[in-house]
Amino acid sequence: MPISPIRRQRRKAARPGELLAAALDCFVAKGYAATRLEDVAERAGVAKGTLYLYYTNKESLFKAVIQEGILPVVAENEAIAAQHNGSSFELLEKLLDNWWRRIGCTAYAGIPKLMVAEARNFPEVAAFYYEHVIARGRAVVGMALEQGMARGEFRRLDIQTTIDVVIAPILMLLIWRFSLACCQDGSADATLYLRIHLDLLRQGLRAAQV
């Protein structure tokens, strides 16, 4: 029984993912320009030319890294928000926590730093990222804030701006880990960081108890 064609099939199907994973690692570690396609190929265990069978050039590989990298996650938080019943702050907690667990602990964790570093060189990719990740992420957080304010659970603040303030520490946590964290002595404890962020938010957002 010749299993090999099936395996080859499997192999072929797995290729794009392997290539993207290798590319993501390289891009995050060294930036777009300093990443040599030869390194990506080597890390993926293929020859340089093989990359071009799957992606037309370096830029399209970069786009794919960003785009594929976020597809697994974008919808989840929206589902969480839709299904949630409970306090608005509990929803915020769930959202930030989920985002951390589903992005922060995965291979995709490096994408925000990568996107930030290259946004100005790849405006379309940045626009895509903004639209499909940032905007949707902001929208969900915005919903939680609106709901909380409507209910009287949160005090009234400008929502669009508050969204940014709420999200910033999470983004910063990721960016930090892929940039200056190497200079720190003890690597910061992400769990503690998130807990304190939420602690401050809980009390900070709370509406004045009459």
Partner DNA sequence: TATGAATGAGTATTCATTCAT
Partner DNA sequence: AATGAATGAATACTCATTCAT
Tokens of 141: 């957080």
Q: Which of the ranges 48-56, 68-76, 86-94, 164-172 carries the binding residues for DNA, by CB under 7 A?
A: 48-56
Interacting stretch for a copy of itself, rule CB under 8 A, among 5-13, 30-38, 40-48, 94-102? Answer: 30-38
Q: Which segment (14-22, 26-34, 36-44, 80-88) binds a copy of itself by CB under 8 A? A: 26-34
Shortest Cβ distance from residue 116 to DNA (Å)? 20
Within 10 angstroms of residue 52's Cβ, the number of other Cβ atoms is 15
35 lies in the binding site for DNA (CB under 7 A): yes
User: Which of 156, 144, 140 lies closest to 206 in space, CA to CA?
Assistant: 156
Beta bridge partners of 154: 206
- Measured in degrees and rounded to the nearest 5, phi and psi for residue 49 equal -60, -30
Question: Residues in the chain, how many?
Answer: 210
Query: Which one, 49 or 86, has the nearer CB to DNA?
Result: 49
Count of residues engaged in binding a copy of itself, rule: CB under 8 A: 55
Partner touching 168 among a copy of itself, DNA, none, CB below 5 to 8 Å by kind: a copy of itself
Residue 5 near DNA by CB under 7 A: yes
Quick check: 37 binds DNA (CB under 7 A)? yes
**Residue carrying structure tokens 């010749």:** 2
Of 53, 71, 150, 165, which one interacts with a copy of itself (CB under 8 A)?
165
Interaction between residue 57 and a copy of itself (CB under 8 A): no
**Closest-CA residue to 59 (of 86, 89, 27, 84):** 27
> From residue 161, how far is each of 64, 139, 141, 164 by CA, in Å?
30, 12, 11, 5
Distance CA 168, CA 197 (A): 10
Q: Does 82 bind a copy of itself (CB under 8 A)?
A: no
Q: CB of residue 83 vs a copy of itself: minimum separation in angstroms?
A: 27
Nearer to a copy of itself, 25 or 91 (CB): 25
> Under the rule (CB under 8 A), what is the footprint of a copy of itself?
29-34, 113, 115-121, 123, 126-127, 129-131, 134, 157-158, 160-162, 164-165, 168-169, 171-173, 175-176, 178-180, 182-184, 188-189, 192-193, 196-197, 199-206
